RNA sequence: UCCACCGUAGCUCAGUGGUAGAGCAAUCGACUGUUAAUCGAUCGGUCGUAGGUUCGAAUCCUACCGGUGGAGCCA
């Protein structure tokens, strides 16, 4: 008996094999039954003829319930009627465990119900495909940075201080001290860049914001590269190369998944470096031309503004040189326009919003001390960060890519809650 | 925190002042190529909770609870 998985059935054409599987759905007539089987690696249809398997076994097959686990033995045959191209002619099966009243029936369900059953919803075709795309993005990320000489460094998740004062932090106790869950590993990655030159991190971040939109999660994953001896423009080139690599990898390695998701491939095929760049100044002007009267120079962009700017381009677009006042304390001012920061947001097409935020960092000790004063960062918690500018400071840049927004964009999923296995949302900590 | 919308069968929804409904699921039956199979039958209810108006409330009013979308903030 040869055990295999559905993704490998093509290697066993016209052979008898055994699959461990779950019953996804079934259809039956008087003398023939069709079992839709899934094993986590794919979906295949099993065909049972009453005359081939005997009446008792056939009746048992007809009464199988959705999501019952079973071992199925049969011959893999080619069939043009199957979307996979293959079917299994079932010779025998044995039930491992019979599932009763599986909640997610093959009909439509609402968001709340599906989210309450997220642990089961992950078994469905669409959710399965989204997670495979997510996995491919992660795989392509490691591939890109490893091939380009980056070292993966893991910043801490429990911290004694915040990276950016503005967002709300999750508070917890660290024995007798106060501690917070990380909302960004960036400051630690700057230290790592001074030790390893080019580094990247991949880990969870936590924001206790009361945000309730299709672009927000309370717990989400970020990829944060940081590069010594790279300026703002060098960083933009890394970003567009990286994002292009990820999109092209998904196109190449997730064909079946993108088809299941009914993703428009032509728009993804266009995602190749270089990406267009527009300055904040020009973006404001563009918005005024598009009829946005509610925004003035010095304001930050809201979601409708980002979408309007992205609509003008087929690729992701960099918005560069934001006013220093609306950006984080560590960003380096443009020497030619000291009121602007050497920074950029990368806005994804099709209304998916900001997927990357990055900047060149301040490398001058005195200027960083000034920023500390302005932002009241005078405690002990940030002293180590200051020392990075004291002991061999160099120009350096970095960025952070939000994984879930990137998955949502590439997979063509409307809401980021479907791009992470177990989303943490406002009002949702279960399952 | 603010704004809008929604809570009716296991699920998705209709019913907007006068007997609580449909489709799907489940159960039983028919059918040898189905793809959300089809067809027939059966089963299925504290109409989110509490109060109020009314001869009469799923329906109108008030409060609360829960959800969805959005804003601000951000990736």
Nucleotide nearest A49 (Cα, C1'): B32
pTM beyond 0.90: yes
Please tell me whether any atom of strand B lies within 7 Å of the Cβ of A30.
yes
In angstroms, the Cα distances linking A134 to A88, A107, A371, A400 are: 30, 25, 38, 17
Q: Measure A149 CA to B32 C1' (Å).
A: 61
Please tell me whether any atom of strand B lies within 7 Å of the Cβ of A49.
yes
CA dist A421 and A220 (Å) reads: 11
Please report the domains of chain A, with CATH numbers, ordered by start residue: 3-97 (2.40.50.140), 118-418 (3.30.930.10)
Please tell me whether any atom of strand B lies within 7 Å of the Cβ of A294.
no
Q: Specify the pLDDT at position A166.
A: 44
Q: Specify the pLDDT at position A367.
A: 94
Residue at shortest CA–C1' distance from B75: A402
User: Low-confidence residues of chain A, pLDDT below 50?
Assistant: 163-164, 166
CA dist A243 and A256 (Å) reads: 21
Please tell me whether any atom of strand B lies within 7 Å of the Cβ of A389.
no
The token pair at A22 is 């779950």
Please tell me whether any atom of strand B lies within 7 Å of the Cβ of A25.
yes
Q: Specify the pLDDT at position A167.
A: 53
pLDDT, tens digit (0-9, with 9 covering 90-100), for A332-389: 999 999 999 999 999 998 888 899 999 999 999 999 999 888 877 777 778 899 999 9
Please tell me whether any atom of strand B lies within 7 Å of the Cβ of A81.
yes
Please tell me whether any atom of strand B lies within 7 Å of the Cβ of A151.
no
Please tell me whether any atom of strand B lies within 7 Å of the Cβ of A364.
no
Q: Measure A191 CA to B17 C1' (Å).
A: 71
CA dist A359 and A234 (Å) reads: 11
Strands in A342-431 per DSSP E: 343-348, 353-360, 396-402
Nucleotide nearest A416 (Cα, C1'): B75
For A284, the 3-state DSSP assignment is helix
Protein-proximal positions, strand B, CB < 7 A: 1-2, 10-13, 23-28, 30-37, 66-75
Q: Specify the pLDDT at position A73.
A: 94
ipTM for the assembly: 0.85
In angstroms, the Cα distances linking A123 to A86, A236, A258 are: 21, 38, 17
Please tell me whether any atom of strand B lies within 7 Å of the Cβ of A88.
no
Q: Specify the pLDDT at position A133.
A: 95
Nucleotide nearest A215 (Cα, C1'): B75
């Amino acid at each position: 008996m040869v055990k295999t998985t559905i993704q490998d059935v093509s290697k066993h054409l016209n052979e008898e094999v055994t699959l461990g599987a779950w019953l996804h759905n079934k259809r039956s007539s008087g003398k023939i039954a069709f079992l839709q089987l899934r094993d986590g690696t794919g979906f295949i249809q099993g065909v049972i003829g009453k005359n081939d398997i005997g009446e008792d076994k056939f009746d048992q097959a007809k009464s199988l319930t959705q999501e019952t686990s079973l071992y199925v033995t049969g011959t893999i045959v080619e069939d043009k009627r199957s979307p996979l191209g293959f079917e299994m002619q079932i010779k025998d099966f044995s039930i491992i465990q019979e599932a009763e009243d599986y909640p997610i029936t093959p009909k439509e369900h609402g968001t709340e119900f599906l989210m309450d059953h997220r642990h089961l919803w992950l078994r469905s075709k669409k959710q399965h495909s989204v997670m495979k795309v997510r996995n491919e993005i992660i795989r392509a990320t490691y591939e890109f940075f490893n091939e380009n000489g980056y070292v993966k460094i893991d910043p801490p998740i429990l911290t004694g201080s915040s990276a950016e004062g503005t967002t709300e932090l999750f508070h917890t106790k660290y024995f007798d001290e106060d501690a917070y869950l990380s909302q960004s590993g960036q400051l630690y990655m700057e230290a790592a860049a001074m030790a390893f030159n080019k580094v990247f991190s991949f880990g969870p971040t936590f924001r206790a914001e009361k945000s309730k939109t299709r672009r927000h999660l309370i717990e989400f994953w970020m990829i944060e590269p940081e590069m010594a001896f790279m300026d703002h423009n060098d960083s933009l080139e890394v970003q567009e190369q990286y994002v292009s690599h990820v999109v092209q990898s998904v196109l190449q390695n997730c064909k079946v998944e993108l088809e299941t998701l009914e993703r428009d491939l032509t728009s993804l095929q266009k995602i190749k470096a270089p990406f267009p760049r527009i300055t904040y100044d020009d973006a404001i002007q563009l918005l005024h031309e598009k009829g946005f009267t509610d925004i003035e120079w010095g304001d930050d962009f809201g979601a409708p503004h980002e979408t309007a700017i992205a609509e003008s381009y087929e690729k992701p677009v960099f918005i560069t040189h934001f006013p220093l006042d609306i950006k984080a304390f560590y960003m380096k001012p443009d020497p030619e326009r000291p009121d602007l920061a050497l920074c950029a947001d990368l806005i994804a097409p099709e209304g998916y919003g900001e997927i990357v935020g990055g900047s060149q960092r301040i490398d001058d000790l005195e200027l960083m001390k000034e920023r500390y004063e302005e932002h009241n960062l005078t405690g002990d918690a940030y002293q180590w960060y200051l020392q990075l500018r004291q002991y061999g400071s160099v120009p350096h840049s970095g960025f952070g890519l939000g994984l879930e927004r990137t998955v949502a964009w590439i997979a063509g999923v409307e809401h980021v809650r479907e791009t992470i296995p177990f989303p943490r949302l406002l009002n949702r900590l279960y399952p």
